[in-house]
Amino acid sequence: MAKKVQTPEDDAAKTKGRLHLLIRYAKDFLSFNKWNTVGLLVIVLLNGLTQGVGFLMLIPLFNLLRTEIVQGGGADHVAGAWLKAVFHWLNIPMTFPWILLVFFFLMTATAILRNRQMVITHMVQRAYVRRLQSRIFKAIINAQWSFVANRRASDLTHILTSDLPVVATGTFFFLQLISNCGFVACYIFWAANISITLTGITLVTAGTLFFLFRSYFPRAFKTGMSMREAKSRIFSVLMEHISGVKIAKSYGVETAEQANFDEIVSRLSMESVRITRQNAEMKLWFQILSYLILCLMLFYAVNVLWIPLVEVGVIILIFSRLLPSLSALQANAQRLAGMLPSFSATETFYSNALAHQEDLVSGPSDDRMELNQGISLENISFRYSADEKGFAVRNLDLRIPALKTTAVCGFSGIGKSTLTDLIAGILLPDAGTIRVDGVTLGNQNLSAWRKSVGYVTQEAFLFHDTIRNNIGWGNPDATDEEIMEVLDQVAAGRFIRELPKGLDTIVKDRGSRFSGGERQRIVLARTLLRNPKLLILDEATTSLDKKNETAVFQSLFRLRGKITLLFITHDPATIRYADQVIDLKAHLD
Ligand SMILES: Nc1ncnc2c1ncn2[C@@H]1O[C@H](COP(=O)(O)OP(=O)(O)OP(=O)(O)O)[C@@H](O)[C@H]1O
Ligand SMILES: [Mg+2]
């Protein structure tokens, strides 16, 4: 098979893409942290300044010592000259103890500034990540249901709990990079103060090193990408396969599951080692070459430029700071490149979620819609995504009278749950109108309508929490008496009272503390507690035995005339509770 040949244009386009990504990241970060980042840079520059002055003070200090010892010469270096002027201005004698004292104060200031820099870096980093987490979570919970339904749960969790921490670490490197730039600028300034030639040589060599090692950036990006992929697979294996452990056991596929998991984790650890190796390799070369430059420079300084020994000492000091700073600059840039794939994923996800936001107008929190006449569906059509050929619901006309009981039936996949999602206001139709008491449902009243609807979906969804908290979800002020009352209505009061811990019993989100039927009744009680105008049961009693199902329906029967009930069923026995039966098959084109 012909392999696609990579052209230089492809490479250039990719580099441009990565660069744009980096710029978008920096813009996003700075849009929120502009002043904090400026503050951080000021601290870094002040730090570089005080440190530099401190180092330069060593020259007059040693010169002074030498002068005192050999009784000759003086502080003749340019740095010494202006330090002398500063001392004179401060009216401090330029004696050994005074110079030491000033040196101590400068170095203490440096340490304090470094401490502030560390704390501020962390604060800025956390604030940015907190904002990312919060805005992505907000985008998810305010997105249209169809957007969330079309995504794997593990993908959503992966973005929030894996990609974002990677972006957080990358942000730390980004801030370090900014600090590195500040320090490098300061060190270059001080180094140039001593010898422009040597500083020039260092910069040219560092620039050459950056150029020679430029391929490390795309490599770091690629490794970051495959790390992301491996992590995403681990997430899906953990979330999907662990919840399917029971089925895996019954199929006897534990060994295959184990092999699958081992393969992914070994890939992840391989990529992780690869990143460390790349970083270490880069650092090694930088260090070897740095020492080489330092030695050549010293040779040049002492044998060609004839720079005095004291200054050579300070040169060593400054350059031994400058070179690691340059190396750190390179390493941080490389790590930043490794973070970009995760940033790109969060960015794409966020903009997708934003494009699918619900545009609800929310009124007062107790704003509910009345249902006294009925719900009418006029020529409703809906499909889950634009690229899907089939409509889940097509050209449907229906009327659900208020305060009556309506049953919906039809074969599996015909669109019953989609229909109830539309009636509950969870989905909006692509075409047609839904009216409640003659009022068209739309963004302006959906939020009020949802408060009037009690919806028991096909999945009995419960939190890993107490029965009380599960039922009181949405009604946190409900008393135990109110909770027991709704539990009695759904024929669950007795088994809950028999539990040793009663309402404090923990309902496990998975596992088997409660049977399927018990879970269904807890969910039903939660819905009834909301005191809905319309109660929708999407096969909500399928796990109940006949006796309990009858008990539930009979107690719902008692609400007749007070509540509109819509239930989906495959069971002809329950249809007798309905005033009206809608067979969706009859509505098919
Ligand atoms: N999130 C989704 N994305 C894409 N298609 C979907 C989605 N949910 C349902 N569908 C499709 O829409 C159609 C109607 O599904 P729906 O769940 O409404 O059927 P149903 O009548 O409730 O079936 P059942 O009796 O099995 O619960 C089916 O063809 C289904 O494959
Ligand atoms: Mg269904």
**DSSP per position, 29-76:** HHHHHHHHHHHHHHHHHHHHHHHHHHHHHHHHHHHHHHHHHHS-----
**Which residues make beta-bridge pairs with 125?**
none
Q: Angle at the Cα of 538 (from 474 to 553), degrees rounded to 5?
A: 90
Exposed, middle or buried: residue 109 (CB in 10 Å: 0-12, 13-18, 19+)?
middle
Residue by residue, DSSP assigns 218-261 as HHHHHHHHHHHHHHHHHHHIIIIIHHTHHHHHHHT-HHHHHHHH
* Predicted local confidence at residue 74, as pLDDT: 43
Query: What CATH architecture does domain 30-355 belong to?
Result: Up-down Bundle (1.20)
Percent helix, strand, coil in the chain, to 5, is 65, 10, 25
Q: Whose CA is nearest to atom 25 of ligand 1?
A: 412
Please choose, from the candidates 381, 382, 397, 537, the residue with its C-alpha nearest in 3D space to the C-alpha of residue 453. 537
Distance 285 CA to ligand 2 centre (A): 62
DSSP state of 122: H
Residue where the block lists tokens 């790349």 = 278
Ligand 1 neighbour 500 (Cβ under 6 A): no
> Which ligand sits closest to the CA of 410?
1
Domain 374-587 grouped into CATH 2.60.40.3880: no
Examine domains 30-355 and 374-587 and report if their fold is the same. no
This prediction has a pTM of 0.78
Cα 548 from chain centroid? Answer: 44
Q: Is the CB of 260 under 6 A from ligand 1?
A: no
Q: Which of 416, 566, 588 to mutate to test the pocket of ligand 1 (most atoms within 8 A of CB)?
A: 416
Determine if ligand 1 sits within 6 Å of the CB of residue 392.
yes
| φ, ψ for residue 64, nearest 5 deg | -65, -45
C-alpha 33/C-alpha 126 separation (Å) is: 11
Q: Please report, in tens digits, the pLDDT of each residue of the chain (589 residues total).
A: 444 555 656 667 777 788 899 999 999 988 888 888 888 888 888 888 887 777 777 776 776 666 654 444 444 555 556 677 777 888 888 777 888 888 888 889 889 988 988 898 888 888 888 999 899 999 999 999 888 888 888 888 888 888 998 998 899 899 888 888 888 888 888 778 777 887 887 788 778 878 888 888 888 898 888 888 888 888 888 777 777 777 777 787 788 878 888 988 898 898 889 888 888 888 888 888 878 877 887 888 788 877 777 777 777 777 777 778 888 888 888 889 999 999 999 999 999 999 999 988 877 767 889 999 999 999 999 988 777 678 888 889 999 999 999 999 988 888 899 999 999 999 999 999 999 999 999 988 998 999 999 998 888 788 888 889 989 887 888 899 999 999 988 888 888 888 888 888 888 766 557 777 788 888 889 999 988 999 999 988 777 778 778 877 777 777 788 899 999 988 888 888 889 999 888 876 6
Single-letter amino acid, residue 395: N
Residue 150 near ligand 1, beta carbon < 6 Å? yes
Report whether residue 415 contacts ligand 1, using a CB cutoff of 6 Å: yes
Residue written as token pair 């009784």:
71
Are 407 and 569 in contact by the 8 Å Cβ rule? The answer is yes
Residue among 148, 412, 417 whose CB has most ligand 1 atoms within 8 A, to mutate? 417
Residue nearest to atom 18 of ligand 1 (CA): 415
Cβ–ligand 1 distance for 418 under 6 Å, the answer: yes
First to last CA, the chain: 47
Does the beta carbon of 145 sit less than 6 angstroms from any atom of ligand 1? Answer: no
Neighbours of ion ligand 2 (CB under 5 A): 417
Domains in the chain: boundaries? 30-355, 374-587
**Residue 486 · residue 517 · CB < 8 Å:** no
Whether 417 is in the pocket of ligand 1, judged by its Cβ within 6 Å, is yes
Cβ(414) – ligand 1 distance below 6 Å: yes
**Which has the closest alpha carbon to 286: 334, 338, 324?**
324
